[in-house]
Chain A
Amino acid sequence: MHPVRKQRLYLVLFVVLFSSAAIGLVVYALSGNINLFFPPAEIAAGNAPVGQPIRVGGMVVDGSVQRSDNSLAVRFELTDYEATVPVVYEGILPDLFGEGQGAVASGVLNDEGVLQASEVLAKHDENYMPPEVADALEKSGYDEKGNAK
């Protein structure tokens, strides 16, 4: 074979091998690190897996936020006005988290249907709703104040 061709062949072989290794790595990393969003209604219907990382979003129910007096533990409920999901979290909540506001919690659902959150996200500014929450409300047919559309 012509040396330039041979060089090109090795080059292509290397690129193919290296990219397959990279793709393998990507698939492996992806399989353990993606999580799916569920609106509260679907969790109530039992469609969400127990013990796997998921995200839940909705409006924080008025009067549901209970803080512990001696630790950072906090408990609240998320609703899409069809169903509510209780969430427990230990740590500092984001600045724009509040009752009657949209929030997304990611964590693991336990056997009692309580989400053990490892992260809570709120919106970034006053007039902004996380798109997942907006979508969940759209599906349940309520607006963000809980009035049926």
Chain B
Amino acid sequence: MIPEVGHFALILALCLALILALVPAWGAWRRNTAAMALAPGLAIGLLVFVGISFTCLSIAFLQDDFSVKVVAGNSNSLLPPIYKFSAVWGNHEGSLLLWALILCLWTSAVAVFSSQLPLLVLSRVLSVMGAVGVGFISFSLLTSNPFERLLPGAPADGNDLNPLLQDPGLIIHPPLLYMGYVGFSVAFAFAIAALLGGRLDASWARWSRPWTNVAWAFLSLGIMLGSWWAYYELGWGGWWFWDPVENASFMPWLAGTALLHSLAVTEKRGLFKSWTLLLAIFVFSLSLLGTFMVRSGVLTSVHAFATDPARGMFILLFLGVVVGGSLTLYAFRAPAVSSRVAFAWVSRETLLLLNNVFFLVATLTVLFGTLFPLIMDALGQGKYSVGPPYFNAVFVPLMALLVPFMGLGLVSRWKKDDPRRWRAELGVPAVVALACGVTFPLLGEHYNVWVALAVVLSAWLVLGLFKDFWYRVRGAATLGRGLRRITPSYWGMFMAHLGFAACVTGIVATSQYSIEHDLKMSPGDSEVLAGYEFRFIELTPVRGPNFVADEARFEVLHDGQPVASLAPQKRRYLATGSVMTEAAIDAGLFRDLYVAMGEPIGQDGAWAMRLHYKPLVRWMWLGAILMGLGGFTTALDKRYRRQRSPARVSGGEALHGA
């Protein structure tokens, strides 16, 4: 009964989405206020019905209703309840429903938090989001109905969730990633609304910016979690594989980073308007392309749950309609919104333009490397694969070239700056950064040029950041008052750039200084890695809720002192019989120690073991967290809420003044 309620609610949601896509848009066109005023209510109704549908599916999973096909295929009565819940999106049908739910969350959020928007703009924005909703809900209903029953013939127990997905990181990774992916639909909807209205001014950028920043922040955290999960769960100690599915989430992030900066210029200076619109369309198209690649089964990957050509065709068509439709609209209407403001070459605008060029080129090279095998396959040219060396060879130089301009951009002025001022400002930071680059790698195992370069670049960026920060604080009577003068949007910018510097340092240091030993070990053996002695103490059998495992116990000593005791496992899951490696990690701010079990070798109880020493690997994820938090912080800025109700806010400001 409950699955049928869910199915019915989803059908009702589709009807509401259709009305939301058509009626307010018609109202905006005919200037019919009554029709436009329906939009917020419809958006919230949509959320309610998709919410009911999602709740019904969750109940089916939690109650082990194996007559529902996806439950039977992806859950098991032995599964711990928290994984039964995360199994809801651990499969194709359920994850699409989650996509739809998150889209409705964003749509309702726009409806609720945008009361300062003119009704005309709001109704257009919500209509566009309703249209996207129609696409995804009908995709769910027509090609991948999550409520399909196995009647008669419901199995007694389910097939179990893929053991790789039975992990705390994977409970929140997909929702966060989707919050980011789908969040860019808001920027897209604002762009389409601006094109439809033919008007784009600073207030437009001010409305669109916080939504974009928040979506970007979610995406940053989602990608970071995915990378962290791969690191500890796949048992190889790798954190980024340039796997097409990773690229699918990384491309919207790269293009989204360009969009953030372009929006900043549009808001502050009224420049790059049509470019910003194009980027907003591009970013959301990349989100859809990512969904297509991941969900159509054209890729070999843990994320490709199903291979059904009808699904691939549906998303491809949908992608075609969205991209084709919005680009056509752009071609006709973009001249109406183009900007007529001049800026000098030596200015912050130029540097932000460079940022956009770099991030866009990076996006396109990743896009090319990701699509190349698919295109060659479609043309019948054979099955190629493009390996990580390609991506590293292209991506790393691009980012290395970008960072010097980032440091410069932070201290530069809008409109017109002076190269002599730059020299005076940045002479000292340049020397200090070089000094850091020369000295810091001496702390490592051996001197490494690439680490030195990364430290120079990061230090340059951080010093530029602090210099600008100091200028903003120093004018105040006391330090506290100076700090209070700094706006949330500046704090956010500060954190995100600091995070980027940490990320660069972490990535380069861990890539260059990591040590990996794969070797045969018997209990009693020991191996020394970067001064750490790994002692294999014993091997014991262990029993978990839905698996049995062999557990190896390791003691790690440094200079004769015990520093960690590690217990990696080799698990066999009972429902499917599949085997899984559970790595053991001693995490630290400056280094991780990592042990994973391979397979038994020979007859005398020896195992293949993988030992890792990974310096600064945490910096990369901490940096990504800082970037994400920075993105959220910018959205707290007062200026994004100022126009809601002028009376109340001016009252608030009066209070602050007092």
Contacts and interface: CB of A to CB of B under 8 A. Distances in A.
Given A34-B385, A91-B518, A95-B580, A25 B394 contact: yes
Contacts of A112: none
Contacts of A72: 518-520, 598, 601, 608
A33 B398 contact: no
A34 B387 contact: yes
Contact of B394 (A19, A29, A92): A29
A100 interface: no
Interface string B140-164: 0000000000000000000000101
Contact of B579 (A68, A91, A95): A95
Interface string A18-33: 1100100110111011
A106 B353 CA distance: 41
A142 interface: no
B383 A15 contact: no
Given A7-B345, A25-B394, A130-B300, A37 B601 contact: no
B302 A124 contact: yes
Most buried by B among A3, A35, A92, A135: A92
B608 A135 contact: no
A35 B384 contact: yes
Interface extent on B, as a size class?
Answer: 35 or more
Nearest to A35: B385
B240 interface: no
B390 A33 contact: yes
Contact of A29 (B364, B389, B598): B389
Nearest to B235: A95
Contact of B520 (A4, A11, A70): A70
A124 B301 contact: yes
A141 B364 CA distance: 39
A132 B608 CA distance: 29
B578 A95 contact: yes
A29 B395 CA distance: 10
A146 interface: no
B397 interface: yes
B599 interface: yes
A71 B596 CA distance: 17
Contacts of B511: none
B342 interface: yes
B546 interface: no
Contact of A37 (B384, B577, B608): B384
B342 A7 contact: yes
Contacts of A121: 300
Interface string B494-523: 000000000000000000000000111000
B382 A29 contact: no
Contacts of B390: 29-30, 32-34
A89 B576 CA distance: 27
Contacts of A131: 300, 307
Contacts of A111: none
B393 interface: yes
B602 interface: yes
B301 A30 contact: no
Interface in A64-104: 67-72, 91-93, 95-96
A55 B385 contact: yes
Interface stretch (B81-89, B95-103, B365-373, B632-640): B365-373
Contacts of B357: 14-15, 18
A63 to B, nearest CB: 17
B587 interface: no
Contacts of A95: 235, 578-581
Interface in B299-319: 300-302, 307
A32 B345 CA distance: 38
B414 to A, nearest CB: 16
Contacts of A44: none
Given A25-B394, A71-B520, A92-B518, A30 B386 contact: yes
B608 A124 contact: no
A4 B385 contact: no
Contact of A96 (B368, B386, B578): B578
Nearest to B572: A95
Contact of A26 (B394, B518, B610): B394
Most buried by B among A29, A35, A70, A131: A29
Given A3-B342, A35-B387, A30 B519 contact: no
Interface of B: 162, 164, 235, 300-302, 307, 342, 345, 353, 357, 361, 364-365, 368-369, 372, 382-387, 389-390, 393-394, 397-398, 518-520, 576-581, 596, 598-599, 601-602, 608, 610
A-B pairs, top 10 by smallest CB distance, nearest first, are: A92-B598, A37-B383, A29-B393, A33-B390, A124-B302, A33-B389, A69-B602, A125-B162, A95-B579, A29-B390
7 contacts: A32-B390, A33-B393, A37-B385, A67-B602, A70-B520, A92-B598, A124-B162
